[in-house]
Structure 1
Amino acid sequence: MKNLTSFEYPDQLQKELRKAKKLEWITLVYLISVVVLMYLVMGSSQAMKTAWLEDALSTLPAISFLIAYRFYNKKPNKDFPYGYHRIYGIAFLTGSLALFLMGSYLLIDSSMALIKAEKPSIGSIFILGHQVWMGWMMIGVLLYSSLPAMWLGYRKLPLAKKLHNKILFTDAQAQKADWTTGFAAILGILGVGLGFWWADALAAVIISFSVLKDGFSNLKDAVLELMDRHPVTLEDKTKDDLVNEVAQLVNTWDWVEKAGVRFREHGMVYFGEIYIIPHQSKKTDFEKARNQLKNYHWKIHEVTLMEVREIPDYLVTAPNGGSRRNN
């Protein structure tokens, strides 16, 4: 039997993990530069203020990932006998809560600006003797805040799926869709330039609503995971087929009459139990079975097998005849 040790990704995924870490460092440095530039040019524009706060919040997933990266594979101890895998779940929860609360504040703030009919003023500056409308500089900074972010999002997304990492996945999705924030803010600024004062506040409302929606969705997902929900896929949130595959596999063992399976997520890996009604005429081999399960897929980090007289109806069961998955 393998001892409970610190979790390490398989060799084929270690390279992907290092790529993800590098991309998050690049993201953090890039976003800091975006936040500084947006602060310098935002003026009294509500849309720019909202976009600036959103970009500042966008640093949280990268920071959370890099912090969790240092602790997730620490060995279990007497204080934390299950290890530190859930540190990614905690980071995901705190980041989602911050996003939800800030989205709520931004929506209220931008809505009040629209209701009060606050008219933003976008001035001009002189550069090399030429008068330049600040709106053009704002648009330039917004493009800088959107286009590289989209590239980073597309680079992170396949890594997040392979690593089954929720922080990386939500970060990638947000950055992949970052053009919507920039586009809304650009329309708001152009609207002000054309004399439509309300365009700026309306753009801010659209941006803040997007932040609030993402925050609520992520917060809900984080809470459900901490409640030991059935493991789900990252992209469409459907139940992970791996659990069914394990149930099918267990039922192919000749000494098993019937079995039920349940797993829960601990960060990137699964912990679970398998309830088995063995054949009375067959010799059980729990040691071999446990090792086979842990070698079946890298997500299965720890599994407990127990002999029972009946299978609870909330467990995943399968008829005889299983499928095999390559690691």
Structure 2
Amino acid sequence: MSISFGQTELPEEQEVHLRRAVRLAWLTIAFLVTAVTAVYLAMGSSQAMKAAWAEDLLSFIPPIAFLLAVHRTRKRPTPEHPYGYHRAVGIGHLVAATALLAMGAFLVFDSASGLVKAEHPPVGLIEIGGQVVWSGWLMIAVLVYTGIPPVLLGRAKMPLAQSLHDRVLYADADMNKADWMTAAGAIIGIIGIGLGLWWADAVAALFISGSILHDGVSNMRVAISALMDARAETYDGHDPHPLVGRIDERLQEVPWVATARSRVRDQGHVFHVESFVVPVEGHTPTLEELTDARRAVVELDWKIDDLVLVPVPELPEQLLPSVAAERGESEHHDR
């Protein structure tokens, strides 16, 4: 049975990747249950441990958002939702970014307050199996446990996020890959307390909080941009998606097309495309020619979920600001 996003059936490679991504999301949730429990039981009064615990709690949001978004985007379009449910990916991304931003800002304030107040967190002794040990060693052991698996999970998810063009999965993978910094920062803070450096714990907590806040800000920027119908970009939101240029190139290869430009919206996993084509002088394209040209573009990539092809006498610059922008830039260089 084939897997689809709405009305878009996935190629075999993406089907395999989606199944693996779902398994990794569930594995992440199962691991986080153990990690959050272990950190809570070991954290004591350490601010760094509390910040690490908060980040582990926040780490539940991206995999849950990914699973919910995948479930939702499988629904086919309806009269009420003629474009399908692909925006569920953008909503999930925005929810995750908002949670990161809010918690990061709170933890930065809390950690900075502890540093200003010169709070001295106690890290005492505990008895384990009849042996009295410094509780800091237990904290460090827990942090090592919580720091290594997320890095491996993140590295496994990253290529899947690229293949599926899934920004929620990318945000999850990016957070997982950076978790080692959280664990390392908290370990340094605990060792600092053991060496009598009371401020090391607060500084480590501030470092972890700043990392959470940075993730929130960067993900919020990409999520809002996508929901505001910005041009389609790569899964990490860093560059224009190469498929945009390929669409125009493919249209300009059609014999009866003189020039063509497209607007491409990222709906989540898939793109919706509006292409404006100027026929060669004296030629009026037939319905069959328009259908063939549309099919040629749709077959470029599975992510092209829908395409509207509009023959026009000239490119509508007011609808394609990039045309005017590029022309203006060219004129600037000519001067």
Shift of 1:219: 0.2
**Structure-1 residue corresponding to 2:262:** 261
Report the 3-state secondary structure (helix = DSSP H, G, I; strand = E; otherwise coil) of the residue aligned with 2:8. coil
Q: 2:101 & 2:197 partners in 1: Cα distance?
A: 30
TM-score (norm 1): 0.93
Shift of 1:316: 6.2
Report the 3-state secondary structure (helix = DSSP H, G, I; strand = E; otherwise coil) of the residue aligned with 1:82. coil
**Structure-2 residue corresponding to 1:102:** 103
Report the 3-state secondary structure (helix = DSSP H, G, I; strand = E; otherwise coil) of the residue aligned with 1:177. helix
Shift of 1:283: 3.8
Q: 2:7 & 2:248 partners in 1: Cα distance?
A: 26
Whether contact under 8 Å (1:262, 1:315) holds in the other structure is: no
Q: What whole-Å deviation, never above 9, does each CA across 1:287-317 have from its counterpart, x for those lacking one?
A: 1122222111111110101121221333667
**Structure-1 residue corresponding to 2:125:** 124
Shift of 1:68: 1.2
Whether contact under 8 Å (1:261, 1:316) holds in the other structure is: no
Q: 1:7 & 1:218 partners in 2: Cα distance?
A: 26
**Structure-2 residue corresponding to 1:298:** 302
**Structure-1 residue corresponding to 2:84:** 83
Q: 2:77 & 2:127 partners in 1: Cα distance?
A: 62
Q: 1:213 & 1:236 partners in 2: Cα distance?
A: 15
CA-based RMSD: 1.6
Whether contact under 8 Å (2:8, 2:302) holds in the other structure is: no
Q: What whole-Å deviation, never above 9, does each CA across 1:94-127 have from its counterpart, x for those lacking one?
A: 1101100000000000000000011100111111
Report the 3-state secondary structure (helix = DSSP H, G, I; strand = E; otherwise coil) of the residue aligned with 1:301. strand
- The more displaced of 166-175 and 26-35 is 166-175
Is 1:46 paired with 2:44?
A: no
Shift of 1:7: 2.6
Whether contact under 8 Å (1:24, 1:66) holds in the other structure is: yes
TM-score (norm 2): 0.91
**Percent same amino acid at aligned positions?**
42
Alignment of 1:1-327 (within 5 A): 6-235=7-236, 237-279=238-280, 280-281=282-283, 283-284=285-286, 285-313=289-317, 314=320
Q: What whole-Å deviation, never above 9, does each CA across 1:219-267 have from its counterpart, x for those lacking one?
A: 0100000111111113461111111111011011111122111101000
2:14 aligned partner, one-letter code: L
Report the 3-state secondary structure (helix = DSSP H, G, I; strand = E; otherwise coil) of the residue aligned with 2:68. helix
* Structure 1: runs of 5+ lacking an equivalent: 319-327
1:38 aligned partner, one-letter code: V
Q: 1:247 & 1:127 partners in 2: Cα distance?
A: 68
Q: What whole-Å deviation, never above 9, does each CA across 1:25-74 have from its counterpart, x for those lacking one?
A: 00000011100110001000000000000010011001101111211121
2:306 aligned partner, one-letter code: E
**Structure-2 residue corresponding to 1:323:** none
Q: 2:42 & 2:57 partners in 1: Cα distance?
A: 15
1:234 aligned partner, one-letter code: Y
2:96 aligned partner, one-letter code: G
Q: 1:177 & 1:308 partners in 2: Cα distance?
A: 49
Whether contact under 8 Å (2:262, 2:274) holds in the other structure is: yes
Q: 1:35 & 1:87 partners in 2: Cα distance?
A: 27
1:312 aligned partner, one-letter code: P
Q: 1:64 & 1:12 partners in 2: Cα distance?
A: 23
Q: 2:254 & 2:67 partners in 1: Cα distance?
A: 42
Q: Between Structure 1 and Structure 2, how many residues are aligned?
A: 315
Q: What whole-Å deviation, never above 9, does each CA across 1:179-237 have from its counterpart, x for those lacking one?
A: 11100000000000111110000100000001001100000100000111111113461
Whether contact under 8 Å (2:69, 2:92) holds in the other structure is: yes
* Structure 2: runs of 5+ lacking an equivalent: 327-335
2:251 aligned partner, one-letter code: V
Whether contact under 8 Å (1:77, 1:83) holds in the other structure is: yes
1:227 aligned partner, one-letter code: M
Shift of 1:170: 1.4
Whether contact under 8 Å (2:250, 2:296) holds in the other structure is: no
